[in-house]
Chains A and B, each alone.
Chain A
């Protein structure tokens, strides 16, 4: 009792001064929909928090300096070797700082998980159409965060000044230099002179520990605030509409779950760091500009860039007194430009094609947007080919494939495989739609075969239950553009005229291609399995979940 009174006293004290009770109450009663894929974004947030904590620990010992020192630490094989202070201090963290290697490995694994989870989260948002209005801005912020994460990771990978770091920096320099006209200057400014110089590590350090994490933190805050303000999307289901949010309130359900999930993330990273070695810099040795190891790869989130560089033919021309290094700047900018640029443009392109300007809070099932899903898989395939090509020497070595064969496979596959992936995915989606339609029309097969008195055998089916029905019928198509409805002789509206209008009409037909749902008004089936019958049969379904149906203010529109 005294504890309760003490809490009450503290609460009153705070509320009298901050007037926060009302805001906190709204916060605690905020409803979050539940689906496993909604936790992918939380993996990113929690790995980021762990990155900040472990990174802070590492800064206490790391020396961002390229001053030459002779190593005298406890890693015997490198004793007496000349190296940069950055590399020596990383060795020191790994071998002489208590818990240093563990924290370093947690930091690196967390960076890998951070980027992997960004990819998974982005894929989830894309395939469920969760980027649609009103969430386009958050989608764009996400793409910027992905890009920032790539740079943050690259710079972190470069800091220890080991052999791999230097190789990564050399490629960074090469890509900068390949930019037409300004490239040489940019590389010169970044490195403060010829490669590698003595400035790059301190410069990357301040970018890595202050500037980029600050930007990421700011954008993550905006990202979460927008998500909170616009409310989370939800998966289709019984009682879930475009104007409500069905789920459990923040307190206690969501807080307990998300808190547990943080500990899962930390546990996974701690386990990985305890049992699996990552980036053994002492084996790579200090950076030496004339040395290079076989199997020098970037961390995986840079793999696609590496692959496109490896794949591209060695085209380099001298024109107008300048060297145009197409062999570097085209593969460095074009493929990732297609992926990120395409992802950024797509929500707006889709709106223009479909003319659908309405808000969407209910997620699409991937099969119900066959073209979007197929495009997404095509992009993933495109990225995946480049990614695999980035590891082509490892693949060649371990699978006994000649190196140039892997390069030629990639050169063909980056064009052909996405097209095949598009066609196959679209067919699969339409096939799944047919299956859905079949379920709605004929019900679920029970496996019971009944013999009628007349000797006829019939197969028994039962109607789909309410929950499944809500999922199956969640599909909505945008209204057709006016020109498609325009009767003969009518003049189409301005937006649909001319070449651009023709293109839009054609794209509309591609994007909205789908198998129509069975007509729910029962004209012509008459087989007892129409939708009315399905809906009427369901009386034994569980009622709405406790705590659900709270529409969270009810002001979605």
Chain B
């Protein structure tokens, strides 16, 4: 009787901790998931810089958005044109005279936060940022 009442809180606390830790690991994933998130953070930063690069290129070309993205001596900056982990080039699409899209393949789109994008919107599901170019 006494030993059982002694053990009850121990079993309860132990059970709660084990359940929470297991559920937590299932949700956050292992070290692999953490690395995916970190790579995605870099990709999102790259897209922001890429959008900046596109604006720069447009300003050197009579304020016309380029049809295809190529390295530009005047606008090298720090923009990467390809995914540094997979070497797959980031997608650039001119969607109208004043709007364009830059896209990357995200590995854990549901975990991407800080989706703010200057004069545009970012959708983690598609991995694309739609940006307006103000001439």
Question: Do the two chains bind?
Answer: no
What residues of chain A have their CB less than 8 Å away from a CB belonging to chain B? none
